[in-house]
Amino acid sequence: MFKTSHSTARRRLLRGLALAGGAAMLSGCVSALPSSASSPGSFVRRELTSNGRRYAYQVFVPSAQLPRPLPVVLFLHGSGERGDDGEKQTQSGLGPYVRAHAAEFPALVVFPQSPEGESWEGDTATMALATLDAATDEFDGDRSRTSLTGMSRGGYGTWSLAMREPARFAALVPVCGGITPPGTRPDLDTLYVESTHTAADPFAEAARQLHAIPSWIFHGALDDLVPPEQSRRMHAALRDAGADVRYTEFPDANHNSWDAAYRTEALWPWLFAQRR
């Protein structure tokens, strides 16, 4: 467990990497960086090691012709992409969209991978924030234009990480996420945002902490895994708190609302216009 403050924990994590051979290390099989100004962006693999535990993550690095510093997006995957292969987290959600638009996607995108059986809380959240810091430093990311998005379990993680470091993010894009347990399956009873779990109204408490960060929430109206009421209630709570918040509900979408969300054309100019 990291028992220091969150920023101190990440600094110690990165110092540990330096002792192990560098804060951002290439793995044995690394994608090549864009080699010329005309090359499209590409995915590169990196690793973090802390207390003997290896975490593989990926970074999408845009074309070299784009001006620096780059806007940055941290993406948190869902339950099905957990593991330690360093690949699955790019294969659903934002990864396929970025891959299909690699020639013109204008932002650095960081893809940490949660270990099997874990959520975006505790040490896993610390790791995710450390990958964000390492990639931002290595690839000239813009800390004032850093956004956070995630789907399903990663949608819950979007709210959770933002409450952990509310000054870090310029915008939030939670997709089919929530605040409290979804109540649809016994194995999801532990899926909730820990920091607001004991509040009298977890949605109101989350909105109180996050109302200063612009948010665009997405959900499917037919979602039978994480009901849309989760996002409806958070949207209402943020609106009541005076937040800059948008909500899009896809009438024909079940749990997979992420493909439609990331294909929403208006999302990207809105996202990249946000600054801290």
Q: Is residue 226 a contact partner of residue 177, using CB atoms and an 8 Å limit?
A: yes
- pLDDT at residue 39, rounded to an integer: 80
- pLDDT at residue 35, rounded to an integer: 42
Q: Is residue 120 a contact partner of residue 126, using CB atoms and an 8 Å limit?
A: no
- pLDDT at residue 15, rounded to an integer: 40
Q: Which residues of the chain have pLDDT under 70?
A: 1-38, 50-51
- pLDDT at residue 38, rounded to an integer: 54
Q: Which of 67, 36, 195, 200 is nearest to 119 (CA)?
A: 195
Q: Which of 109, 80, 116 is nearest to 94 (CA)?
A: 109
- The pLDDT tens digits of the residues spanning 140-178 come to 999 999 999 999 999 999 999 999 999 999 999 999 999
Cβ partners under 8 Å of residue 220, min gap 6: 176, 228, 249, 250, 252, 253, 254, 255, 256, 257, 260
Cα–Cα distance for residue pair 86/56, rounded to 1 Å: 5
Every domain of the chain and the residues it spans: 6-272
**Cβ of 66: how many Cβ atoms within 10 Å?**
17
- pLDDT at residue 19, rounded to an integer: 35
Q: Give the torsion sign (CA, 120, 123, 128, 132).
A: positive
pTM: 0.87
CATH architecture of 6-272: 3-Layer(aba) Sandwich (3.40)
